[in-house]
Amino acid sequence: MLYNAFLFLLKTVLDLLTLAFLLRFYFQLTRVPFQNQVAQLIVTLTNFAVKPMRRLMTMLGNLGLAKLDISTLLLAYLTQLLLTVATQWLRGFPLLIAGNGVWLTLLAIALISVIILSTTIFMYAVLIQAILSWVNPHTPIAPILVNLTSPILRFLRKFIPLAGNVDLSPLVFIIVAQLLLVTVLIPLENNLLSML
């Protein structure tokens, strides 16, 4: 029972940390205004790791991606990798004597976990934005959601015409994201976990 509680706590803390790193990365990528309280909260929560990682990435030449700050994305991946390795170790998996194939599988599981969390972030951001646009479009979180989701929705609007005066692109995105999660990403993650 204590083991399950510790595993739950570890997963919760590391998933929330990954979520914060991913939000910071996507906020930068979509140029979300950082004067907002939510954006400032994300920056404050992640600065402890982002600042040292940025210095390291600067020394490494940002891995050749000069225009893109990937330190927060790399931190999200490393956090998921830590969670994956720690979970397997706590379950008694012999990581110290595992072969290269096992470590490649662990690396792949962490990558898929980051993709699942990223898809989930955008899916809920689109859903919340759609609801708020009908209920309270002037809420303080609206500018963040608009900036975060506008690249995706603008792309979809090229192919999906308005139905009357109703924009169906959020609904289409949520359905496609859910299908991607249920039919591809989660089964792939489960298959990789079953290989361990």
Structure confidence at residue 66 (pLDDT) = 56
pLDDT digits (tens, 9 = 90+) for 65-102: 656 778 899 999 999 999 999 998 888 877 777 777 88
CB 173 within 8 Å of CB 61: no
- Global pTM? 0.90
Question: Three-class SS of residue 44?
Answer: helix
Domain that holds residue 168: 2-194
The secondary structure of residue 160, as a DSSP letter, is S
For the segment 99-127, what is each residue's pLDDT rounded down to a tens digit? 778 889 999 999 999 999 999 999 999 99
Q: Which of 84, 53, 88 is nearest to 62 (CA)?
A: 53
Rounded CA-CA distance 3/167 in Å is 48
Average pLDDT rounded to a whole number, residues 136-141:
85
Give the closest residue to 190 by CA, choosing from 113, 133, 97.
Answer: 113
Into how many domains does the chain fold?
A: 1
Q: pLDDT at residue 39 above 80?
A: yes
For residue 38, what are its two tokens?
């939510």
**Cα–Cα nearest to 188, from 132, 112, 127:** 112
Please give the single-letter amino acid code of residue 32. Answer: V
The pLDDT of 167-186, averaged and rounded, is 94
